[in-house]
Structure 1
Amino acid sequence: MPQLNPAPWLLILIFSWLVFLIIIPPKVLAHTSPNEPTHQSSETPKTEPWTWPWSQVSSTNL
């Protein structure tokens, strides 16, 4: 059974892990995000409540 012979497969396994651990990480880490994250301000934005047109029920409609 030739698939049990570790000679070719062990070398392929070692080289593939070598590629995954040494060559690929610097290439992936070299990429930068197009939108750099910014720090959020500590103050909360002032928002005003929204009134929906159908929520303003008048007393004549009751």
Structure 2
Amino acid sequence: MPQLNPAPWFAILVFSWLVFLITIPPKVLSHTFPHEPTSQSTEKPKTNPWNWPWH
């Protein structure tokens, strides 16, 4: 049964993983965000309760 011969498929598998591990991560990591995240203050904003008439 030729589909059990690992010789050509193993080389394809190794080559595809080399492509994924060598060429793709630098391309993905080279992207920058348009806005850098800023640190938020830890204190909660003071909210006022809504005083709506419910009748």
Q: Show the counterpart of 2:3.
A: 3
Q: Structure 1: how far apart are the matches of 2:34 and 2:51?
A: 37
Q: Structure 2: how far apart are the matches of 1:52 and 1:32?
A: 46
TM-superposed CA distance for 1:34, in Å, is: 2.9
Q: Structure 1: how far apart are the matches of 2:47 and 2:41?
A: 15
Task: Kindly indicate which of the two structures has a greater share of residues assigned to helix.
Answer: 1
Per-residue CA shift, 1:5-47, capped at 9, x if unaligned? 1221011000111011111111111112233211011333222
User: SS of the residue aligned with 1:34?
Assistant: coil
Q: Which runs of 5+ in 2 are unaligned?
A: none
Q: Normalising to structure 1: TM-score of the pair? A: 0.68
Q: Name the aligned partner's letter for residue 37 of structure 2.
A: P
% same residue? 76
Q: Normalising to structure 2: TM-score of the pair? A: 0.74
2:46 maps to 1:40: no
